[in-house]
Amino acid sequence: MASSKLFAPTRVGAIEVANRVVMAPLTRNRAPGAVPTALMAEYYAQRADPDSGAGLIVSEATAISPQAQGYADVPGLYGTEQLDGWKKVTQAVHAKGGKIVCQLWHVGRVSHHLLQPEHADPVAPSAIRANTKTYLIDGEGQGGFALTSQPRALHRHEIPQVVHDFAAAARNAVKSSGFDGVELHGANGYLLDQFLKTGANQRTDDYGGPIPNRARLMLEVTRAVCDAVGHDRVGIRLSPVTPANDIVDADPQPLFDYLMRQLATLGLAYVHVIEGATGGPREVEGRPFDYAAMKTAYRLAGGRGAWMVNNGYSPELAQDAIASGRADLVAFGKAFIGMPDLTARLRRGGPYAGLDKATMYGGGAHGYTDYPALND
């Protein structure tokens, strides 16, 4: 596979990348107090050399505000110590010749009151609890999963603050911490996805009901972030039919076709699409979806951003997606945990290694920075 177009350079908005292999965002719960650490800098740097690792790294999901937090020990982007910690990460990545964007995250209802400021209720488009779990760490430092808390509906007058927080976090990421760009987390049942989909949004104001209303917040946030850092440094992640975090929409095809036509006008660097169930099957029973039609809607409306695909891509499927023109970039998630030199292995056709599931969330260097590369 050494001569595959998968390893050819390309341009992603304002970002030149050396290959088309992307490291997908991976929550690892190793940022105590929401502050990125030196260990995190080492972890990302191990995967940053484009000769052996990712052409582009998308950081783990990063909370835009204290209210946006939903899991213990995930990083933030709203305090000086956090920005300094992330700057050390981006410097380590750039020293290896890599490129990295920061995924901006508001979890919405996928949270627990113990993680919220003053132990408040999490916020959501509507007061509908997600039947899912979040990750907590107890007083003895032991981590585990717990059911999410009952949320409250955001008041109409609170929504502009959410938009502002996304824009402020984007500025912090690019202008203070040195990221090459940002990715809006509009997927996997988190806040922007919650507003988008009928299973979580039962509002009766201009942020609920018809498709243009439900898409309003995502589009307001995207425009604000483009204004903050430049449209060619902004990507967005979407998951049309994933059931992750108890999310569902009654009719996703027209919803995402509409969204694509609107996003096409904004000049984004890329669109990142999770095909199927996040981390699961590529086809979701009872939720058919035409991803080609989604892309066509974007292109016909003038969208020129790179098209990034994700979820369950084998080396052969990834190569075919690029060679056929179906995708410009392919994102790999769990594969990059156990194989920091994934691109080198793809070039050689293997060997491929697994990962230790017991160390995926929380902990220290073990199962994080101690996975060997082929030449180690």
pLDDT tens digits, one per residue of 55-106: 999 999 999 999 999 999 999 999 999 999 999 999 999 999 999 999 999 9
Could you confirm whether 43 is annotated as catalytic? no
**Could you tell me if residue 139 is inside a domain?**
yes
Give the domain extent around 272: 5-359
| Tokens found for residue 175 | 């202008």
Which parts of 143-244 are beta strand (E)? 143-147, 152-153, 181-185, 234-238
Name residue, tokens 């000769």.
51
**Could you tell me if residue 192 is inside a domain?**
yes
- d(CA 272, CA 242) in angstroms, rounded, equals 14
- What confidence score (pLDDT) does residue 140 get? 81
- d(CA 65, CA 78) in angstroms, rounded, equals 6
CA torsion 139→144→150→151, rounded to 10°?
A: 90
**Could you tell me if residue 372 is inside a domain?**
no
pLDDT tens digits, one per residue of 220-246 = 999 999 999 999 999 999 999 999 999
- d(CA 337, CA 354) in angstroms, rounded, equals 8
Q: Distance from first CA to last CA of the chain, Å, rounded?
A: 22
Q: What is the share, in percent, of the chain residues with pLDDT greater than 70? A: 99
Looking up residue 89, the CATH number of its domain turns out to be 3.20.20.70
- What confidence score (pLDDT) does residue 10 get? 98
Total of domains in the chain: 1
**Could you tell me if residue 370 is inside a domain?**
no
Q: For all residues of the chain together, what is the average pLDDT? A: 96
Q: Which of 78, 135, 190, 368 is catalytic?
A: 190
**Could you tell me if residue 374 is inside a domain?**
no
pLDDT tens digits, one per residue of 277-336 = 999 889 899 899 999 999 999 999 999 999 999 999 999 999 999 999 999 999 999 999
272 — phi, psi (to 5°)?
Answer: -110, 115
**Could you tell me if residue 371 is inside a domain?**
no
